[in-house]
């Protein structure tokens, strides 16, 4: 689960990490009041779950109250499009206003799991404020990596290695070591999958300030962190993904036109591969799970039909705990309630498959039956080709 910048800074502030004085606004009136209270220069920053906000016009530095007014009016309510927001972009419903900071140098700092080595990776660079992927590609020598064994934890030599790598000495060296130690504690105590500070600013007096902050909490650990779970912003989710979550469905929206419903993540991946090999593109990943009932199937089918980009649906179920007759009942009930205006190809095998096929056949609905996955993919491919021709 991703946190907004202001939420991440509130969390990091509990660990004595230095963040700028600031406040969140959801209306133009509040934004202008906060800007006047903080005084100029003031940074006005869009609060959406995406990087690259500055390049897209979502972050502005105002050096006067007039500039602050213009920034607040422009950013609040805008549709922000970055490389991470997708084609539709995201509407800015909140802005963070922060007091300006006198910056002497900017660094990059992050902590995240390194699954290849089962360690926590600390990444630092003297090139803060830049796209870190670009820095790694063009000047890899400017990226410092320090791996920490989570069983033994952060040690003083880890702190020294990163601080020396960033070229720090004297008082800034000591302050940075304290900062990194506190950041590591914030990561481990809150089950964070990512803590990123970009940029981490060093001021003229040698102090450090977190100018930006990203944090992502492991969703599987939210039961341990009720306070963080309460920070979830459903407005940042795709509406269909949020709807699916309410019914315990694993749904991810994609860019294609073929909606698909399966039971099992592995089967979902194989089904999407078969759709692509047939010359079509999947519109979603929808795994109803092994223990789905007729109601879950009905809700999943309704969500697929709710996507305006979907031109056809492929249902691919291997009946085990989820029996084929249960699947068929859910599909028939959903189609009758909502109406069936799209071609639907159904392939099912496993427990009670004959009963399931009979339910579909007796429904009177125009459903296309497939004998196996290859047959289903070929049929969905022909449907997609015909749709593209029109």
> Which residues of the chain are under the pLDDT cut of 50?
none
Q: Are residues 208 and 267 in the same domain?
A: no
DSSP letter string, 10-32: HHHHTTT-----EEEESSHHHHH
Q: Which two tokens stand for residue 389?
A: 């021709």
Q: Are residues 180 and 214 in the same domain?
A: yes
Confidence (pLDDT) at 290: 64
1 is a domain residue: no
53 known ligand binder:
yes
284 known ligand binder:
no
Integer Cα distance of 97 and 388 in angstroms: 47
- Residue 376 CB partners (closer than 8 Å, separation 6+): 274, 314, 316, 345, 346, 347, 370
262 is a domain residue: yes
Say if residue 232 is preceded by a cis peptide, omega within 30 of 0: no
Phi, psi of 237 (to 5 degrees): -90, 155
Q: Name the E strands within 115-171.
A: 119-125, 143-148
Give the H or E element holding residue 38. Answer: helix 28-38
pTM for the model stands at 0.76
106 known ligand binder:
yes
266 is a domain residue: yes
Integer Cα distance of 214 and 72 in angstroms: 22
Instruction: Just list the catalytic residues.
Output: 108, 196
366 known ligand binder:
no
Q: Which residue has the tokens 């799991």?
A: 113
Q: Are residues 284 and 142 in the same domain?
A: no
Q: Are residues 114 and 152 in the same domain?
A: yes
Domain at 137, CATH number:
3.30.470.20
Domain at 334, CATH number:
3.40.50.261
Q: Are residues 83 and 127 in the same domain?
A: no
Q: Which of 229, 260, 282 is the last residue of a domain?
A: 229
Confidence (pLDDT) at 2: 92
8 is a domain residue: no
Confidence (pLDDT) at 180: 98
Q: Are residues 251 and 224 in the same domain?
A: no
Integer Cα distance of 383 and 378 in angstroms: 9
∠ CA(258), CA(339), CA(348), 5° rounding?
50
Q: Are residues 252 and 344 in the same domain?
A: yes
Confidence (pLDDT) at 362: 87
Confidence (pLDDT) at 342: 84
In angstroms and rounded to an integer, the radius of gyration of the C-alpha atoms of the chain is: 26
Domain at 66, CATH number:
3.30.1490.20
DSSP letter string, 172-234: HHHHHHHHHHHHHHHHHHTTEEEEEEEEEEEETTS-EEESS-EEEE-GGGGGG-HHHHTT--G
52 known ligand binder:
yes
Of 5, 22, 12, nearest in space to 98 by CA: 22
101 known ligand binder:
yes
144 is a domain residue: yes
13 is a domain residue: no
321 known ligand binder:
yes
Of 356, 361, 299, nearest in space to 324 by CA: 356
**Helix then strand then coil, % of the chain, to nearest 5:** 40, 25, 35
Indicate the number of domains in the chain: 3
Q: Are residues 294 and 368 in the same domain?
A: yes
11 is a domain residue: no
pLDDT, tens only, 257-309: 898 888 878 888 888 998 888 888 898 888 887 666 667 778 888 888 888 88
370 is a domain residue: yes
Q: Which of 99, 118, 151 is the last residue of a domain?
A: 99
Q: Which residue has the tokens 């990194």?
A: 180
Q: Are residues 124 and 192 in the same domain?
A: yes
Q: Which of 196, 229, 262 is the last residue of a domain?
A: 229
98 known ligand binder:
yes
Q: Are residues 88 and 122 in the same domain?
A: no
What is the residue range of 157's domain?
103-229
Exposed/middle/buried for residue 70 (C-beta within 10 Å: 0-12, 13-18, 19+): middle
320 known ligand binder:
yes
Of 76, 40, 37, nearest in space to 59 by CA: 76
- How far apart, in Å, are the Cα atoms of 265 and each of 250, 259, 306, 323? 9, 15, 22, 17
Give the H or E element holding residue 375. Answer: helix 373-389
Integer Cα distance of 42 and 255 in angstroms: 39
DSSP 282: B
DSSP 141: G
Confidence (pLDDT) at 84: 67
Q: Are residues 213 and 319 in the same domain?
A: no
Q: Are residues 340 and 271 in the same domain?
A: yes
């Amino acid at each position: 689960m991703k946190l907004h910048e202001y939420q991440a800074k509130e969390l990091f502030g509990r660990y004595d990490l230095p963040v700028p004085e600031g406040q969140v606004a959801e209306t133009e009136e509040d934004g202008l009041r906060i800007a006047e209270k903080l005084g100029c220069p003031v940074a006005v920053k869009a609060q959406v779950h995406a990087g690259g906000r500055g390049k897209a016009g979502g972050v502005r530095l105002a050096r006067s109250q007039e500039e602050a007014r213009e920034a607040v009016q422009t950013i609040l309510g805008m549709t922000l499009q970055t490389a991470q927001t997708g084609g539709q972009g995201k509407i800015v419903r909140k802005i963070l206003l922060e007091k300006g900071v006198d910056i002497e140098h900017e660094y990059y700092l992050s902590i995240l799991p390194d699954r290849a080595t089962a360690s926590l990776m600390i990444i630092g660079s003297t090139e803060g404020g830049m796209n870190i992927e670009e820095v790694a590609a063009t000047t890899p020598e400017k990226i410092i990596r320090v791996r920490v064994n989570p069983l033994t934890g952060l040690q003083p030599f880890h702190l020294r290695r990163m601080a020396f790598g960033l070229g720090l000495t004297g008082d800034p060296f000591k302050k940075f070591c304290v900062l990194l130690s506190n950041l590591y504690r914030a990561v481990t105590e809150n089950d964070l999958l990512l803590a990123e500070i970009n940029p981490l600013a060093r001021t003229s007096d040698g102090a450090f300030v977190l100018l930006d902050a990203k944090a992502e909490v492991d969703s599987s650990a939210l039961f341990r962190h009720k306070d963080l779970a309460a920070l979830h912003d459903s407005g940042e989710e795709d509406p269909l993904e949020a709807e699916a979550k309410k019914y315990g469905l694993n749904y991810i929206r994609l860019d294609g036109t073929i909606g698909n419903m399966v039971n099992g993540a592995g089967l979902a991946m194989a089904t999407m591969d078969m759709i692509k090999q047939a010359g079509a593109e999947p519109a979603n990943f929808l795994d109803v799970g092994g223990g789905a009932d007729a109601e879950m199937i009905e809700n999943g089918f309704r969500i697929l039909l709710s996507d305006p980009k979907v031109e056809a649906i492929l249902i691919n179920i291997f009946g085990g705990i989820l029996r084929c007759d249960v699947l068929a009942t859910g599909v028939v009930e959903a189609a009758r309630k909502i109406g069936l205006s799209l071609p639907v190809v159904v392939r099912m095998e496993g427990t009670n498959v004959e009963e399931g096929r009979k339910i579909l056949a007796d429904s009177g609905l125009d459903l296309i039956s497939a004998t196996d996955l290859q047959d289903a993919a070929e049929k969905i491919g022909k449907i997609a080709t015909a749709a593209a021709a029109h």
